[in-house]
Chain A
């Protein structure tokens, strides 16, 4: 897992607009009185989406203000979950699962594909793509798995991953889900005589 730390150097304006505040309020009312902070995850997600996939310091401050929560408490949450980024990421953000099942099924190859086509981990490429390694994405049955923005891509290998990345760069449509045409997680059709 990569270390996540907030810095003040990454400046960015951040303010929730009225619609977003409404959305957050609709989450706040789900919780009992005096438990406003329970809406912190939802608010952070919204903020992350709004500011392009990552959370600048100003966003943490905005969430802390709207939920009347000490800033350090919001920061604790934001650094705890790997789903929150505290530094800018690409427009396409590739998260490679490197946990045991995926690793056994060849996640190292996937990483290599990313290195070859995008570059170093956590560096945004010229095509506005970046990648990181994350812990289990919860789709182990279709390992190895990557998540790109909000979509999952499963049953990958070096060539299918490369193909996806090439298409991404050209902004061509790509196929979601299993790359070997599995419907869900049924057994893989093996060739005869295998």
Chain B
């Protein structure tokens, strides 16, 4: 701690803080353009000038507060005449080459330059010469450029090398000729590229899909969470009327810091296309509209007419915990044992520490080594990958991958594709062991691709064995991590939506359907299954998009998407968060839990909840650790089992196409344009 003085008032602040941070802690706002908490310091905009006095007296000229650290006894002045003049001067210089096009600029209303020109500018222009103009750059379908507006803060450049790791954006030329560009105007490829839109303090980089569609002050802002991957990034959904207009990140240091992935940022147009807005039933080969009463009645009839062992249910990747819970109650009520939430056929089971990201996401920042097993974190959780990237910059950070070779944006040691390598490491027969031994807090990340094969469960046990052999698990560290790709998975697992004893799992259910052993199947938003020719099986699909699941259905119950109902989700580290309704469901669609309640009532099962609130309270009572308003608890280490035979086990790819992992994403024109873009280029 050091003692400093800001504008005549004494403060005690942490060592190593930049002056700008110290001022911020004291509640004094310093204008800035280039400085950003999460990026390296560039010190090139000079907007943050302050006066500083130390033992040698007042500084001869104002200093950039973002580039100087606090020291004992330093005095900072932020309100002197000289500081005011300096800011006005800098502002004037910045505006020399900035166009006066705010009325047609999408950044208007949330523009740092606009705001700071108002607050700290000169107020009047003294510039009558020609302004510089810069050609726009092509950065791909997501980022719209208007480079004449660029003030060369280089935030986007630093982001692309430090956070996304792709090194795609750079500043070429110098002086008056400086321009921000990608190499030869190529489109950016990073899954995190959209964040430069938020970073850009002016309107040089804006969102192309959102272009000219709304002004920030007309939008309704809902703070919620994301379901595109299993991290549960905190987002804000901006909507106008019934339509979601855009998605922005919210700060959460524990999860997404202040970034979101491009999939999260741009999926929103998928919410208004391919939607199911009415119940449908199959008549002959065709699906025809019907009423809710008829639909519920049909569901009831089919659930009654089949024997319990002929009924099965599978839950999907985007459904909240409440709906899975009420479905489970319903199934229990009619004595059905065949249900599963592991759509991809993953073999996880048992207590939660066996299938959660135990080190926590922010725990990555503490780790000193990493072993990736059967995973491609860049596709499965790009933000998590960015944390690993940051850690991997430490000189001694052993980083190995067992799995298929892929571009992770950082260097790693490819150990091979065979799951047996885990055994080799366990037995000390791999060169990677020497490095692992030196790590005190290494972590292992096991992807779903490693757990879907025949011996998925045994493989998981083998990994636990390995975790105990090295320091992955120690008294003060739990680096045993399973990475999920589906937002609902951890939540559904924690309420045990997996087959009961002698119940069937996903694979067996599908086979059962084909063999005619399963007569009625209930799909709760399950869209990732290979379902076709299920002639002698009645498929009830409850969901919101006309996607794979609905195509094969005999009865479709339209439900609300995650953005249209309140729901609980547990992320891959076991953190429960609440997703909040931002717009109303389309057409006749109802909330998930409500539909299931209607069916239960039709079946004369007494559900002891009438409201969503009641349902939630019931869940909290049965599963106390699902209350999002409680403190987040870290997990115990998983139990070890020896002698695991994994012969014949193979890895698969958890995500083949990053842009199309769920039904909303598949309906989004934004994302398919992006996907086409890459494919066109590759051909």
Contacts and interface: CB of A to CB of B under 8 A. Distances in A.
B173 A72 contact: no
A72 B177 contact: no
A41 to B, nearest CB: 15
A52 interface: no
B183 A71 contact: yes
B168 interface: yes
Given A6-B184, A8-B184, A57-B184, A75 B170 contact: yes
Contacts of A8: 184
A20 B2 CA distance: 54
A14 to B, nearest CB: 15
A166 B173 CA distance: 34
A79 B174 contact: yes
Interface in B133-179: 161, 166-175, 177
B182 interface: yes
Nearest to B171: A76
A72 B174 contact: no
Given A8-B184, A57-B184, A72 B170 contact: yes
Contacts of B170: 70, 72-73, 75-76
Interface in A84-141: none
B173 A80 contact: yes
23 contacts: A3-B173, A3-B177, A6-B172, A8-B184, A34-B395, A57-B184, A70-B161, A70-B166, A70-B170, A72-B167, A72-B168, A72-B172, A72-B181, A72-B182, A73-B170, A75-B172, A75-B183, A76-B171, A76-B172, A79-B173, A79-B174, A80-B173, A80-B174
Interface in A172-194: none
Contacts of B174: 79-80
Interface of B: 161, 166-175, 177, 181-184, 395
User: Which 8 pairs show the lowest CB-CB distances between chains A and B?
Assistant: A70-B167, A72-B170, A79-B172, A72-B183, A71-B183, A79-B173, A76-B170, A3-B177
A4 interface: yes
A39 B169 CA distance: 21
Give the interface size class of chain A: 10 to 19
Given A76-B172, A80-B173, 17 more contacts: A1-B177, A4-B173, A4-B177, A8-B184, A34-B395, A70-B161, A70-B183, A72-B168, A72-B172, A72-B181, A72-B182, A75-B170, A75-B183, A76-B170, A76-B171, A79-B173, A80-B172
Contacts of A57: 184
Of B175, B181, B182, B184, chain A has the most CB atoms within 10 Å of the CB of B184
Nearest to A64: B183
Given A1-B177, A3-B177, A57-B184, A73 B167 contact: yes
Nearest to A81: B174
Contacts of A73: 167, 170
A57 B167 CA distance: 18
A1 B161 CA distance: 29
A72 to B, nearest CB: 4
Nearest to B168: A72
Interface string A3-24: 1111010000000000000000
Contacts of B171: 76
B136 to A, nearest CB: 14
A4 B173 CA distance: 7
A1 B175 contact: yes
Nearest to B161: A70
A57 B186 CA distance: 14
Contacts of A34: 395
Of A3, A70, A73, chain B has the most CB atoms within 10 Å of the CB of A70
A75 B186 CA distance: 14
Contacts of B172: 5-6, 72, 75-76, 79-80
Nearest to A80: B174
A76 B173 CA distance: 7
A92 to B, nearest CB: 26
A141 to B, nearest CB: 25
Nearest to A34: B395
A72 B182 CA distance: 7
Interface string A57-84: 1000000000000111101100110000
A34 B395 CA distance: 10
B639 to A, nearest CB: 41
B579 to A, nearest CB: 38
A72 B175 contact: no
